[in-house]
């Protein structure tokens, strides 16, 4: 479904813009009007994905859809999360390239023409890298750096620090992403793993236009865990290493304890060190069991083959949503 300006244009260069939304009623109007101005030279569609909002977000989107045939939307049956909302947009977008960005205006829409220019030059993935030195709090800066350091340490798939979900994907990349039926999504890693010709564009994030951030500490930890466990088995290998290390240490300590019991009278004085050792080794074991449990949990969920999202309402009429 082309945009207003595309009636005389060629579908060859059609641009799809995917915007996941969760309680963003105060921001929808601003980002819609900005996008219509920036995309006007191109055939386009704007696809809003309402992730189970409880505010008037969906009502506002519907109003825009009634007035503009370029506006398409899907509304989930409940909140399925940001990554699943992005996946839905990628699944349903019909453009020759698909651009994803957040509704809170922190991803500057003004960068979209540059993304499109790089795509027209031949790059199949044009992604953005956030400059954390401005417009971001100290805690968020430290959390972001720690996240990428841990992710790149544990994973074989390396991701550039500051990489954002503000990116452009060529149609062939979109089709490959749609083939990946993973339940626990980490799209930054998936896009990097797929490959193709990629180009990075730095940007300084804007301050949130209105509302509150939806990425709580818990959600960030979940995203980090999903990123690490989805692209590497290194944590399991590390747990094996620590298992052998502490088993060997326990064996040496056992020899020492036998010596103390048989040849000295100091067994009582070593009670504190024994308790500390048992608690320390027990804690390490629980951590390693937790790592194994995380992988087993992922296998459990993947085996169920549940959908990543359920669409409650949409104005898209095609075989994908029938």
Write the DSSP assignment of 250-304 as a string of letters.
HHHHHHHHHHHHHH-S-TTTTHHHHHHHHHHHHHHHHHHHHHHHHHHHHHHHHHH
Q: Are residues 105 and 173 part of one domain? A: yes
Nearest-10 crossing angle of helices 217-230, 138-154? 20
Cα–Cα dist 179/170, whole Å: 15
Find out whether 155 and 189 touch, Cβ atoms under 8 Å.
yes
Task: Give the pLDDT score at 271.
Answer: 58
The answer to the question of residue 224 being in a domain is no
Q: Are residues 89 and 26 part of one domain? A: yes
Task: Give the pLDDT score at 45.
Answer: 92
Tokens of 101: 């960005």
Backbone angles phi, psi at 34, to 5 degrees: -65, -45
Measured torsion, CA atoms of residues 107, 111, 112, 115, in degrees rounded to the nearest 10: -110
Q: Are residues 100 and 192 part of one domain? A: yes
The answer to the question of residue 222 being in a domain is no
Q: Are residues 136 and 63 part of one domain? A: yes
The answer to the question of residue 226 being in a domain is no
Q: What is the pLDDT along the chain (322 residues), one digit of tens a residue?
A: 444 433 333 345 889 999 999 888 888 988 898 898 888 878 889 999 998 888 899 999 999 988 888 899 999 988 888 888 988 899 898 889 999 998 888 888 889 999 999 998 889 999 888 876 655 566 666 666 666 676 666 666 666 667 778 899 999 999 988 888 777 777 777 887 788 888 988 888 767 665 555 555 556 666 666 656 666 666 666 666 666 676 667 667 666 666 666 666 665 555 556 666 676 666 666 666 766 766 666 666 566 677 778 888 888 886 455 4
Q: Are residues 267 and 177 part of one domain? A: no
Task: Give the pLDDT score at 230.
Answer: 63
Q: pTM for this structure?
A: 0.66
Tokens of 285: 């074991």
Strand 311-314 to 71-76 pairing? antiparallel
Q: Are residues 92 and 207 part of one domain? A: yes
| Spatial CA neighbour of 185 closest among 94, 82, 50, 47 | 82
Cα–Cα dist 226/189, whole Å: 10
Find out whether 230 and 206 touch, Cβ atoms under 8 Å.
no
Find out whether 116 and 168 touch, Cβ atoms under 8 Å.
yes
What CATH number is given to the structural domain containing 52? Answer: 3.90.550.10
Q: Kindly report the CA angle at 303 between 297 and 304, in degrees rounded to 5?
A: 100
Q: Kindly report the CA angle at 291 between 180 and 147, in degrees rounded to 5?
A: 70
Q: How many residues comprise the chain?
A: 322
Q: Are residues 199 and 276 part of one domain? A: no
Q: Are residues 119 and 190 part of one domain? A: yes
Distance set, CA 220 to CA 6, 41, 142, 148, 237 (Å): 39, 37, 13, 12, 24
The answer to the question of residue 285 being in a domain is yes
Q: Are residues 242 and 209 part of one domain? A: no
Helix (H, G, I), strand (E, B) or coil at 129: strand
Task: Give the pLDDT score at 218.
Answer: 59
Task: Give the pLDDT score at 5.
Answer: 37
Tokens of 263: 């040849």
Question: Per-residue b/e over 269-294, b at no fewer than 16 CB within 10 Å?
Answer: ebeeeeeebeeebeeeeeebeebeeb
The total number of structural domains in the chain stands at 2
Q: Are residues 170 and 131 part of one domain? A: yes
Q: Are residues 253 and 288 part of one domain? A: yes
The answer to the question of residue 75 being in a domain is yes
Backbone angles phi, psi at 201, to 5 degrees: -125, 120
Using H for helix, E for strand and C for coil, what is the string for 191-252? Answer: HHHHCCCEEEEEECCCCCCCCCCCCCHHHHHHHHHHHHHHCCCHHHHHHHHHHHHHHHHHHH
The answer to the question of residue 13 being in a domain is yes
The answer to the question of residue 96 being in a domain is yes
The answer to the question of residue 55 being in a domain is yes
Q: Are residues 243 and 203 part of one domain? A: no
Q: Strands of 51-124 (E only): list them.
A: 71-76, 97-100
Which domain covers residue 252, as residue numbers?
234-304
Task: Give the pLDDT score at 289.
Answer: 72
Task: Give the pLDDT score at 11.
Answer: 45
């Amino acid at each position: 479904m082309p945009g207003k300006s595309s009636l005389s244009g060629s579908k060859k260069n059609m641009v799809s813009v995917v915007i996941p939304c969760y309680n963003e009623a105060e921001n929808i109007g601003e980002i819609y009007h900005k996008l219509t101005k920036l995309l006007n030279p191109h055939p386009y569609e704007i696809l809003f994905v309402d992730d189970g909002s409880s505010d008037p977000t969906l009502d506002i989107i519907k109003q825009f859809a009634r007035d503009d045939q370029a506006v398409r939307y899907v509304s989930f049956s409940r909140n399925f999360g940001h990554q699943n909302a992005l996946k839905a947009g990628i699944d349903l977008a019909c453009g020759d390239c698909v651009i994803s960005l957040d509704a809170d205006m922190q991803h500057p829409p003004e960068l979209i023409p540059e993304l499109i220019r790089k795509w027209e030059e031949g790059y199949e993935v044009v992604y953005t890298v956030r400059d954390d030195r401005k417009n971001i709090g100290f805690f968020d800066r430290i959390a972001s750096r720690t996240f990428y350091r841990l992710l790149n340490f544990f994973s074989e798939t390396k991701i550039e620090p500051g990489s954002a979900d503000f990116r452009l994907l060529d149609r062939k990349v979109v089709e490959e992403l749609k083939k990946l039926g993973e339940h626990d999504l980490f799209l930054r890693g998936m896009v990097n793993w797929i490959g193709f010709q990629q180009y990075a564009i730095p940007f300084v994030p804007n301050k949130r236009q209105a509302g509150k951030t939806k990425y709580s500490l818990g959600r960030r930890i979940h995203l980090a865990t999903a990123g690490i466990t989805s692209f590497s088995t290194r944590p399991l290998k590390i747990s094996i290493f620590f298992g052998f290390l502490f088993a060997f240490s326990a064996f040496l300590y056992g020899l020492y304890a036998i010596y103390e019991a048989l040849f000295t009278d100091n067994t009582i004085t070593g009670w504190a060190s024994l308790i500390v050792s048992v608690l320390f080794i027990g804690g390490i074991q629980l951590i390693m069991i937790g790592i194994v449990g995380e992988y087993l949990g992922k296998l459990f969920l993947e085996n169920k083959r549940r959908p990543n999202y359920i669409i409650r309402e949409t104005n898209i009429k095609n075989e994908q949503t029938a």
